[in-house]
Structure 1
């Protein structure tokens, strides 16, 4: 233990504190090591990438329990089906051992995900057995206010008493109720931890685009986002951990200052994990193409089951038979299930159709196999010949065909359930994996993000990409990832060719993201975003990487922040940045010249220009460091950064002409004031950014047609029009960027409900 603490104290950047493994964490990890499907205790606790040490790193970057009156936000990134739940369970256990009195888990946006998380937490933490460490509340309302107060009061008197674990649906109404309850309880001395599972879904503000630029307070925000802010506001001492496998929105595109991470950490999967690289960059025999003619469309409905669906069913039956022959027996046997997932579309009518096809096919197949096996065993084996030969190629030790066919008839057909998993009244409300060994699950959205399918080995997913494919959403359909190394060769994924291509491209992007995060673990967003933007391998501009619902941000022509700074700290930082960057560029790239000498048609100009500053320098020295605090401006600024980095990746020699407006002498603009406008908008000029210049060109025309142009200027702001002497905000930095049409870009930014 002493050696481990010494190692943790050497991590760079340093942890804020070192959480210690104590009784409850040890008990929890021992319990997980005894789970039929769990890793050993040594695998959980030993080595720098063990679950325990990564959890200590994560919690060690959160607030120490003895610090009060502040908060911290962290981003934790794993792969799909890679052990993120085990990671945050271990973080919660450490928090309990080290003095956190309350843990809140935002456990998904659907009830089936909340139920799944609750069931696991209650089981793993001993709550359902009446353990001594936790008191659990589900979706609290004001009716349990007294329980919350009394439980926390008891914990404050004696921290060895039960801490409070709250699980809540990530839904505005439930979060509001929880915030209302906690607002009435004195939490000043209660360190709290919030775990936001699947944090890129629903948590972020989706309505920034609807805020009128600088003309109103930030009131038009999405419901769940607003409720999370309210919840955080009533917790005087807390840390907020955003867990996700698809962090694109958290990293770049849905950034609002309130949920920006102060640090990022990674969840490293164990050696048995098989993710996208194993399936799409490894043995291509694991992927089977579904021809487009076998995918039903409104114009081309199918009247009979597609051939590949029946092939997938036969492949699954052979895998189930092999499992039945080789599985461990007994109540505590490991790896007890094998399953098949069919994900045809969102519409539940398609689920019913596919389930009907499967039910009929199984009934027919069972009857036929029983007759053939009794009268002509060779003919029975011939039914599965193609699928068996395919499985032998990737899993040579599969049992002989004769044994598999016999086991199908004797065991598998009788141990197989086919169910719908969706919101219809006939659907399976909760899959009881212990009730049967073999399952076929048919569904759509409920089989997406966060849902665990036990022992999944065969996936049939004819669902197409759609017109605006979202790779992070597509990635969340990959329930077939997971800890499958021992039987990877028995797995099959049936998808259309376009979906296979999209997965392959996404994996390349995902590996880049993780590499960038690994190189900057523990550092704030403002530090590691620099690498993320500037690395030439960056590929998030593809539409299929960004966004479920989308809105278009054109990076073409003039981009001018409307509000930008919002607060005095940002204004001061931008003032310092401007005062340092211009002398640096002047020294490195040449002294400014009058704009009239280089612009066609200009006879005079009050503005100067530093010509041909490398785009990389403009990004590194200014655009990545300038403080853009307004929600809409920040989103558009991020889009601009991504577009510029993409341009730079294609042409490393791109140049920018930097115009020093009014030679950086301070101008004057009337600012927004009165009429109920919030103080946070006091930095917004009410007049247009561009003004008329001397000569034949106005400010808007100070740019070049074939190169990127950056305008820098300074304003004094006041509430009186045309009265600079009345300015009450001094020396405000502003900029505008022009992208010529030949370098045109457009970013598709996610709009989630």
Structure 2
């Protein structure tokens, strides 16, 4: 361990249970500890090292992690407080110190983690409680946000409280299972099962150790378990199994437990943690069919124990909540609900404030500029290709991404981050053969750069850039990183050190490469370029990920979010991270980011309403952003997917439209006719946002929606559900709509005449996709933020905005206000000048949006729902393959 690391750890250990000291006090504590280490270990610390240590410690102390929303069963009965003082928290205390000292977690974050894991444990059952019991819960986190840290804390506390058998289900791939085992080796056991030596938390105690029947290189095997010649009742410490979600593995464990512990299992308390609980665990078969294989194997294991607790962890919980999207009775009373539905609690975790998630990258007010567009891949590396495709040449964008990785690594070395991991991800194909061919091509490219750096980087900058490879690196630095390090000559001197240790690996089912960051193998950190598909798409952590090259696409929310390995923590290098993706993928991520943020904001309102998990599940199932994920669960067993959703308090707009000129002209006539009809009923009002017609009969709007030719990818603007919703409102006395014709004040906008009389200035948009078949708006948004406030008195708008302290007000706040004040729905008409990103083409696009007043999270069950039906034949044709096919190809 370096001297400065030793000093930082020593001070962190002193302060781990305290509130952050003042800067002056922290400097004095660090200085005093430096003197102690100097006397005991002979280390020398000058003022510069002490100052660096203080800065590192200050960075730890600033981070906070808020508590999340919690939904619990009405049958919840607390037990932990009563037993708290009698439990020896040995495993938790070791882990807490490990987080604070070794891993550098902020004391505030550790305290929140402590409280959160207490809340989870308390909603499970007391492991010493007699009789039969079964608890089922779910923890919802964010992608790459620290779910493993949370469930490791739960495992430690469960072991302390008396759970005797702990089973962790760690994904479908060996790489993920091995990585999870290594984490638990380090953070729970304190013993490396691969090299048979002390590790991790053992630094803070070696008096006890769990018994583990798996290792970081071997999943559960009967022969290995039999060789121990032990039954569970002979063990004094908790027993740990870390398993891949594989039929044979789960059945082997079931068989071994049944054979060797037949008479004693009923007496044991068992905790099962299901990591990536939405993946393969949930039964998606119809009620009249047998459960899916993995689901049945999990239920069989649970059935062995009369006292069991099951907790699923996931960032994409939709599959777990939608047990059967078509059948509320099955959800409430069926076997799935009884076995795996989280009936006892659902906890929504909030990440620490240094977490980099979708909201910091993709939404309008994103604060990290890291997305770079890929537009040169289709000829050389198309996003959609067959299994026999053979790549030959790397696109220029991929070469630039490799340059970024080398330069970013050089910058991190400059910043003193030498003994850290540095990773790049290339996810461009789902086929293993293509991935392995890419590995060879990328390896040759890296060798070429390494050779050029060796021969030319020692020359003067003027001479070095005469070489085309060095010139390419220079150009990338100038475009991407000159703000981070303004002097190229400094970067050039670090190039050799930056590129030398970089290796290229492929992560898939046939590759022998291993994604290993273990300190015993890589004490100085590892630098690699990882190429993969499914193997890089779920659960796996790429340590120190700086650059991602992403060509995959999917309409499924959960699949796309899980592919986002770039989410996570990038302290000290977030500014130099880069994500290369197509504009279409960026638009999807932006859309999902906003939809997910909206859904999570509903969590808090639902918690205040004291929803139970069942009520929460039913409520979320009616959320329109879950439509796509619902279809995924039913895709293999239904030609048509009916989904009942609620549109209350939502915005439905035509964010994907046909590019066909005839259809555009038809839709323009439809919307112009709508304006002409509105003029007959009420006088138009000029506003800052355009022209407003109040209280127009809703039949006019229904006619517009019915006659507008909607693109099938734009599902929320299917005509039948929208018209059905307006008809429901009419039966309740709300039979009018307001209509807004959007007009802007920008001098650059083009004038457009409506019905030969009304002149507007059209908004301009650079769209994400503009091809021969469709035009897709960036972030799948047409209206601008704030458009939906039209019709609200100015002083009321100011009151709403004052609650957000200068930040952008989500338009849902205006919908809530309109609902409270009895405003009708708002039909927004936009004639938009849409331009391709490369400025190759531009056209006027007629669009509409229907803004429906309401508060989506106000009640326990949505009172008004409409039904959407999605044809899966069309779905498969337009959106690659479904997950089952992808698994087979991998």
Paired residues of 2:517 and 2:526 also in contact (CA < 8 A):
no
Paired residues of 1:266 and 1:518 also in contact (CA < 8 A):
no
The alpha-carbon deviation at position 406 of structure 1 amounts to: 1.1
In structure 2, the residue corresponding to 1:541 is in which secondary structure? helix
Q: 1:165 aligns with which of 219, 223, 240?
A: 240
Matched with 2:113 is 51
Change (3 A) 1:529 1:443: closer
RMSD: 4.0
Are residues 1:403 and 2:403 paired? Answer: no
Matched with 1:261 is 342
Alpha-carbon deviations, 1:283-341, whole Å to 9, x = none? 47311111153533559975421010011011111100011222256xxx5xx111111
Matched with 2:423 is 339
Q: How does 1:54-69 map to 2 (within 5 A)?
A: 54-67=116-129, 68-69=131-132
Paired residues of 1:337 and 1:454 also in contact (CA < 8 A):
yes
The alpha-carbon deviation at position 199 of structure 1 amounts to: 0.7
Change (3 A) 1:451 1:646: farther
Are residues 1:83 and 2:167 paired? Answer: no
Structure 2 unaligned segments of length 5 or more: list them: 1-15, 18-66, 193-197, 199-205, 325-330, 645-714, 733-864, 876-881
Change (3 A) 1:305 1:233: same
Paired residues of 1:340 and 1:457 also in contact (CA < 8 A):
yes
Matched with 1:133 is 209
Change (3 A) 1:298 1:540: closer
Paired residues of 2:421 and 2:527 also in contact (CA < 8 A):
yes
Paired residues of 1:421 and 1:429 also in contact (CA < 8 A):
yes
Matched with 2:560 is 474
User: Take 2:495 and 2:439, find their aligned partners in 1: how far apart are those partners?
Assistant: 20
Structure 1 unaligned segments of length 5 or more: list them: 3-7, 156-160, 213-218, 559-638, 657-738
Q: 1:442 aligns with which of 511, 528, 531?
A: 531
Aligned residues: 556
User: Take 1:438 and 1:383, find their aligned partners in 2: how far apart are those partners?
Assistant: 21
Matched with 1:29 is 96
Change (3 A) 1:385 1:253: farther
User: Take 1:429 and 1:483, find their aligned partners in 2: how far apart are those partners?
Assistant: 19
Alpha-carbon deviations, 1:227-285, whole Å to 9, x = none? 11111111100110011111111112555323111110022221221111122121473
The alpha-carbon deviation at position 402 of structure 1 amounts to: 1.4
Paired residues of 1:265 and 1:517 also in contact (CA < 8 A):
no
Are residues 1:417 and 2:503 paired? Answer: yes
Change (3 A) 1:430 1:643: farther
Paired residues of 1:141 and 1:181 also in contact (CA < 8 A):
no
| Greater relative contact order (Cα < 8 A, sep 6+) | 1
Matched with 1:250 is 320
The alpha-carbon deviation at position 503 of structure 1 amounts to: 1.2
Q: 2:372 aligns with which of 285, 288, 301?
A: 288
Change (3 A) 1:246 1:144: same
Are residues 1:70 and 2:133 paired? Answer: yes
Q: 1:653 aligns with which of 729, 743, 747?
A: 729
In structure 2, the residue corresponding to 1:384 is in which secondary structure? helix
Change (3 A) 1:503 1:647: farther
Matched with 1:116 is 179
Matched with 1:676 is none
Are residues 1:195 and 2:195 paired? Answer: no
Q: How does 1:91-110 map to 2 (within 5 A)?
A: 91-110=154-173
Are residues 1:181 and 2:256 paired? Answer: yes
The alpha-carbon deviation at position 198 of structure 1 amounts to: 0.6
Paired residues of 2:138 and 2:313 also in contact (CA < 8 A):
yes
Matched with 1:594 is none
Are residues 1:230 and 2:300 paired? Answer: yes
Matched with 1:351 is 435
In structure 1, the residue corresponding to 2:453 is in which secondary structure? helix
Matched with 2:678 is none
Paired residues of 1:199 and 1:244 also in contact (CA < 8 A):
yes
Give me the TM-score of the superposition, normalised by structure 1: 0.66
Alpha-carbon deviations, 1:605-654, whole Å to 9, x = none? xxxxxxxxxxxxxxxxxxxxxxxxxxxxxxxxxx9xx9999887777616
Alpha-carbon deviations, 1:370-392, whole Å to 9, x = none? 44434441343643344223434
In structure 2, the residue corresponding to 1:540 is in which secondary structure? helix
The alpha-carbon deviation at position 405 of structure 1 amounts to: 1.4
Matched with 2:581 is 495
Change (3 A) 1:419 1:384: same
User: Take 1:44 and 1:12, find their aligned partners in 2: how far apart are those partners?
Assistant: 22
